[in-house]
Structure 1
Amino acid sequence: MGLTDRQRELLASWLPSAEVVKDHSWGVLGTLVLELRQGGDRYIAKAGDETDHHLARELRAHREWLRPWTAQGRGPQLVHADADAKLLLTRYLPGQLVQGSPYEWTADTYYQAGELLAAFHQQSAVDDAEYETVENGKALTYLAAKHRIAPDLTERLRVIITAWPTPPATLVPTHGDWQPRNWLIDHGTVRVIDLGRADLRPAYTDLARLAAQQFRTKPALEPAFIEGYGKDPRDPDAWVRTRLREAVSTAVWAYQVGDETFEQQGHRMIAEALATIRQ
């Protein structure tokens, strides 16, 4: 993917003499992430293609929810944005990626991540009577798509999800992809990047990816995170439903984009989530 003509024009007007330092794009989604330098300043430009739906979420997060982080220099500061062009520009945040570093397995990282997430979640709350119904519908749509979940297991999952209750849910601002690949560490301080999945959801949904990955590998990280957060936000029944929906979406989405490692994780998550369901 490259920048569109409109995106190039906007970047040239925002940063007339900038040079590209590094391409941070993942190459899986249609989002281009470029590190730029102009003079002594560094920036991150994020550009979406015609299929992108993440830039709108990220822009909303910047405009409505990031102040608890940006006020401390721990979240990206928005400089310019054009929603129609699917382009935004933020100031570069210093630090190394936590994922793949020794900090991925240290308790203090998770204590700080818990503190940061609590501040984000506590900004607002709204009740939603339809959230569970909508999320169950999404999971059933995934099961109806192409995937490599066994047919008998697919039917079992469909029966379980269809039978679930749909109580009202309390929604708060959530990151949506809360895990070490979206955290930076700089001289011991944790910072946050990538708000492309930010949205209003129940608070406990931001723990789903940690529970399936780092908390599973090193259980001692979980209490450190909860201590930083202040209290465990997980309702037992709602957490079971979230874990299984997350597992299904992981297995199906990863298959559709050809990420076999992530797909295998999704199948493992399904098995582990089902083991918690009494039948």
Structure 2
Amino acid sequence: MESWHRNRLSAGQAEFVETRLPGVRFLNDLSWNLVDTAVLEVAHGQGRYVIKAAGPSNRHIRRELDAHEAWTEAWARQERAPILVHANPSLNLLITEYLEGYLVEGSAAEYESGTYLQAGQLLREFQAQTVRTDSRYEAAATEKAMAWLETPHRIEESVAGKVRGVLAAYRPEPVPVVPTHGDWQPRNWLMNGAELRVIDFGRFEFRPAISDFCRLAVQQWRTRPELEAAFFEGYGSDPRGSRLWNITLLREAVTTAAWAFQVGDREFEKQGHRMLADALANYRTGSSPMLPAQPGNFG
């Protein structure tokens, strides 16, 4: 039993896979190895599949299942996202069909405008499936950022103090929330020919639509405004508003810096500290340079 999954799955998880995919064969370990999520490419018969599994305290598999069960069908029908074939929530495990394509991150496609045009179109389609008002989201997100500051991190105390001051002064209001991917960036995109595809829904959640712009805004868009322009051409509008956008970027920066330190991702931690500096600079100047003159609303 151990030969095909290389001890990445529990005995119960491996047994479940073998009952659903008899004679399963290991092909590749695709895990990031930052958290306890195992991602294994396997073969069964003439097909290829991806197994995702984690320990009982890991919440990402449950989030991914929520996304597949209700929200990814439109993409999956177009072969733009994986199709869920088996799942066992009690074992924290799911199996999807393998999606062909190469990872956009690190490829030429990462800095091609056409990639971001498609990314905007796909995200708009995903988020537009439904919208609801959440009276607690902003308060909970702010409390969570505050809580991250009480966990181990390498944020300078002077910086942490400024962040606490901004978060404490913020007055949350009800906001519209939509289905969000949660980690919308090139490391979760595949390119198959000229077609963009989407993977990894482990951070799926209902959030404000702008939350899916954060990764891109502080990475690829930072030095390549033409990619940002292509994205919003595909998305159809730019729904960022200064108050919500700035606080979203600040909370994201805190989470990034603290989480990356705790899992030992030095490059991502460095990005988190840069995000903190930029977000606080926006508060000092009262500006948000990435905003349009007349931001639209999600609808």
TM-score higher than 0.5 here?
Answer: yes
Q: Which amino acid aligns with 1:122?
A: A
Uncovered stretches (5+) of structure 2, i.e. residues with no partner: 1-6, 286-299
Q: Partners in 2 of 1:2 and 1:49 — Cα distance?
A: 10
CA distance in structure 1 between the aligned counterparts of 2:150 and 2:164, rounded to whole angstroms: 9
Shift of 1:51: 2.7
**Aligned match of 2:118:** 112
Q: Give, in whole Å, the separation in 2 of the partners of 1:52 and 1:130.
A: 24
Q: Does 1:34 align with 2:34?
A: no
1:270 corresponding residue in structure 2: 276
| Separation (CA, whole Å) in 2 of partners of 1:242 and 1:181 | 21
For the 8 Å contact 1:24–1:34, the answer to whether it is kept is: yes
Asked if the contact 2:56–2:91 (Cα under 8 Å) also holds between the matched residues in 1, the reply is: no
Query: Partner amino acid for 1:109?
Result: T
Q: What is the CA-CA distance between 1:264 and the residue it aligns to?
A: 0.8
**Structure 1 match to 2:75:** 69
Counterparts of 2:218 and 2:272 in 1: how far apart (Å)?
9
| 1:149 to 2:155 alignment | yes
Q: State, as a whole percentage, how many aligned pairs show the same letter.
A: 48
Q: Return the alpha-carbon distance in structure 1 between the equivalents of residues 152 and 34 of structure 2.
A: 18
TM-score, normalised to structure 1's length? 0.98
| Structure 1 residues 3-23: Cα deviation after superposition (integer angstroms, max 9, x where no partner) | 111111110011101201100
Are the equivalent residues in 1 in contact too, given 2:104–2:191 (CA < 8 A)?
yes
- 1:126 aligned to which of 128, 132, 136: 132
Which residue of structure 1 lines up, in the alignment, with residue 239 of structure 2?
233
Give structure 1 regions of 4+ aligned residues with deviation exceeding 4 angstroms: none
Query: Residue 214 of structure 2: SS of its match in structure 1?
Result: helix
Compute the displacement of 1:220 (Å): 1.1
2:105 is matched with 99
Match of 1:247 in 2: 253
Residue 90 of structure 2: which of 62, 84, 87 is its match? 84
Distance of 1:247 and 1:101 partners within structure 2: 26
Q: How far apart, in 1, do the equivalents of 2:262 and 2:84 lie?
A: 32
Aligned residues: 279
For normalisation by structure 2, the TM-score amounts to 0.92
Question: Within 5 A, what are the aligned runs for 1:214-233?
Answer: 214-233=220-239
In the other structure, the counterpart of 1:14 is 20
Deviation sequence 1:123-174 (CA, Å, 0-9, x none): 0111011111101101110111121111121111101110012111111000
Distance 2:163 2:70 in 1: 37
2:219 to 209, 213, 220: 213
Q: Distance in 1 between matches of 2:133 and 2:257?
A: 29
Q: Which of 154, 179, 202 is the aligned partner of 1:196?
A: 202
